[in-house]
Amino acid sequence: MPMQFWIIQSLNSLALGGLLFLLASGFSLIFGLMRIANLTHGAFFMLGAYFGATALRSFDWIDLWVAAIGSGLALAVIGGFLERFVLRKLGNNPQGQVLVTLGMSFIISDACLVIWGGDPIPIPTPHALQAPTFLFGFAFPTYRLVLVGCAIAVAIALYLLLERTRLGAMIRAGVDDMQMTRAIGIPISRLFTVVFCLGAGVAGMGGVLGGPILSAYPGLDADMLPLALIVVILGGVGSLVGAFLGSFIIGFTYTFGSALFPDLAYVILFLPMIIIIAFRPQGLFGRRAS
Amino acid sequence: MATEALKLTDVDTYYGDSHVLHGVGFALEEKRVLALLGRNGAGKTTCISSIMGFLAPRNGEITLFGTPIGGLAPEAISKLGIGLVPQGRRIFPSLSVRENLIIARQREKESEKPWTYDRILDLFPSLAERSRQLAGLLSGGEQQMLAIGRALIGNPRVLLLDEPSEGLAPLIVAEVARTIKQLKDGGQSIVLVEQNSGLALDVADQVVIFNTGRCVFTGPVDEVRNNDDLIAKHLGVFHAH
Ligand SMILES: Nc1ncnc2c1ncn2[C@@H]1O[C@H](COP(=O)(O)OP(=O)(O)O)[C@@H](O)[C@H]1O
Ligand SMILES: [Mg+2]
């Protein structure tokens, strides 16, 4: 294999890892705090991509970044709405949660199919980032570099929010011991809404940022969600650092697995997972459930 | 007549179908310490959980300075002024000592001399040295101090302490006892749950004894201190005079 292959595939791995982080971080936080496996999360990502694609087509003045932020905000509102008016009603009923979040995901998929049709809608790479970047004599797709930077920026922002603010400490307290968090007067239901909005918003933004690579198409949700699930299982539920490292591990495993052994991509993806789960059920970075 | 800070009347609490508290009733007077005693499994923690709102009583009434709180959500009960030091401490292990305290800050305007972060560290100097450390890495005694500090910084009108001496070395137990006396002298109303009566009978004004989910004794502490029969029957230990 030529050097260019390894370098490009590595960058592709990083880019996929960054996208997975945008999806998995919210999924992991929601699971960690609310104990809900939000199977609608992939649909949030896809919906974000469609919103972004539509906005970019409809308005000249909107660029990719504005579209990403706008989609993120729209998905935060939609996510908050679903949490308040649908998930809230389910209480602690795991079967109900699986059924409802999966059901909402199917409904969103069908709605997207009706509204946007069956053909992929491309999301163009911003003009300024179309030319490759030359580093050390190799050509790098510039947008992918920037995408990795965006994911890292989001990771840092989420980290600061969770680790350096009082709100973040409340969220972590809720992950540690929900009942005691309520007993010190913290309105847990408001925290749930905040975390759900945040997770849905970051996923929606991820859909747009991933657009120049993936575009918006029916089935994008189903392609992304299993990868995010694996990331969270690998990284440990409710751990931001785990989601970050897990995303890049899966980004590399999936990209190189599909490039080198296309027939075995899923074996390469799932085998390490099964081994890890067998020996560390809480994931690499998760704490053992109490 | 003394003000009733916390009052339970005919409280029945269940875990699903299992009926644990049977018509429990007692009253804590303001600025006093009420010791809630009883053997392991007598229903003390269940009673505390009913007051805190972890479990909704199926019958009966719980009032805080006359306001009914039975069946409210824990966060609402906390806001109204009940502070909990739970059995097993239950500090937030992945938060720093400082974070454990600052997220619990509330009710500053409602109290005359509110507890602040600095005042909690003055009360427990060993926590001050470890304020940046993860709470999960503290010793058992330090975790107990933190659990007490976390309850106090919410400026509760009534403080519930569920077996604060459990699993601690004698020296630390003495420190916990000193702290409770200090809080009492500061005018804090306290419900103190203990399985062993020594510490509790030292600081308490009133005593309630539970046996299999029922109140079997309610009265002033003097009636218990010298009543070896009562202690032997319901607490299973002889209290050394
Ligand atoms: N979560 C629970 N589910 C069912 N029964 C419980 C639960 N917790 C406690 N109990 C039962 O309730 C009774 C009282 O327990 P508890 O209030 O913890 O006693 P204490 O605090 O006095 O030791 C015991 O018989 C115990 O087995
Ligand atoms: Mg108990």
From A178-182, B17-21, B131-135, B231-235, the region with the lowest mean pLDDT: B231-235
**A34 vs B173, higher pLDDT:** B173
- Here the tokens at position B173 are 């137990």
- Give me chain B's average pLDDT, please: 93
What's the gap in Å between B40 CA and the centre of ligand 1? 9
Fold of B1-81+157-241: Rossmann fold (3.40.50)
ipTM of the complex: 0.94
**What percent of chain B lies above the pLDDT cut of 90?**
87
Is residue A10 a part of any domain in this protein?
Answer: yes
Q: Check pLDDT > 70 for residue B180.
A: yes
Instruction: Check residue A88 and give its pLDDT.
Output: 86
- Taking an 8 Å cut-off on Cβ atoms, the answer to whether A176 and B84 are in contact is no
What's the average model confidence in pLDDT over A214-235? 91
- Taking an 8 Å cut-off on Cβ atoms, the answer to whether A176 and B94 are in contact is yes
Q: Check pLDDT > 80 for residue B1.
A: no
**Nearest residue on chain B to A287, alpha-carbon basis:** B94
- Here the tokens at position B141 are 């005694």
Residue partners of A192: CB distance under 8 A and separation at least 6: A33, A34, A83, A88
Is residue A56 a part of any domain in this protein?
Answer: yes
What's the gap in Å between B139 CA and the centre of ligand 1? 27
Query: How do residues A237-280 score in pLDDT, each as one tens digit?
Result: 878 898 999 999 999 999 998 889 888 878 888 887 788 888 88
Is residue A16 a part of any domain in this protein?
Answer: yes
Closest by CA to A204, choosing from A187, A227, A184, A220, is A220
Q: Which of B14, B20, B44 to mutate to test the pocket of ligand 1 (most atoms within 8 A of CB)?
A: B20
From A71-80, B59-68, B217-226, the region with the lowest mean pLDDT: B217-226
DSSP B94-141: TSBHHHHHHTT---TTTSSS---HHHHHHH-HHHHHTTTSBGGGS-HH
What's the average model confidence in pLDDT over A100-109? 95
Q: How far is CA B96 from the centre of its chain?
A: 23
Instruction: Check residue B240 and give its pLDDT.
Output: 46
Closest by CA to B139, choosing from B115, B161, B117, B171, is B171
Range of the domain at A28: 3-279
Total domains in the fold of chain A? 1
Give the DSSP H/E element, type plus range, for residue A103: helix A94-116
List the residue whose alpha carbon is closest to atom 16 of ligand 1: B43
Residue partners of A29: CB distance under 8 A and separation at least 6: A171, A195, A198, A199, A238, A240
Residue pairs between chains A and B whose CB atoms are closer than 8 Å: 65
Query: For residue A94, what pLDDT band results from cuts at 50, 70 and 90?
Result: confident
What's the gap in Å between B43 CA and the centre of ligand 1? 6
What's the average model confidence in pLDDT over A153-180? 94
What's the average model confidence in pLDDT over A60-73? 95
CA–CA gap between residue B241 and residue B233 (Å, rounded): 17
Instruction: Check residue B239 and give its pLDDT.
Output: 45
Closest by CA to A126, choosing from A142, A115, A149, is A142
Q: Which of A169, A177, A184 sits opposite B78 (nearest CB)?
A: A184
Q: Check pLDDT > 80 for residue B228.
A: no
Is residue A111 a part of any domain in this protein?
Answer: yes
Is residue A226 a part of any domain in this protein?
Answer: yes
Contact by Cβ (8 Å): A243, A232 = yes
Is residue A37 a part of any domain in this protein?
Answer: yes
In ligand 1, which atom is closest to the CA atom of B210? 22
Q: Which CATH number fits the domain that encloses residue A262?
A: 1.10.3470
What's the average model confidence in pLDDT over A23-39? 90
- Give me chain A's average pLDDT, please: 91
- Taking an 8 Å cut-off on Cβ atoms, the answer to whether A169 and B103 are in contact is yes
Nearest chain A Cα distance for residue B116, angstroms: 15
Which ligand places an atom closest to the C-alpha of B19? 1
Q: Residues whose CB is under 5 A from ligand 2 (ion)?
A: B 44-45, 87
Query: How do residues B127-136 score in pLDDT, each as one tens digit?
Result: 999 999 999 9
Residues with CB under 6 A from ligand 1: B 15, 18, 20, 38, 40-46
Nearest chain A Cα distance for residue B132, angstroms: 12
Query: For residue A287, what pLDDT band results from cuts at 50, 70 and 90?
Result: low
- Tell me where in chain B the CATH 3.40.50.300 domain(s) lie: 1-81+157-241
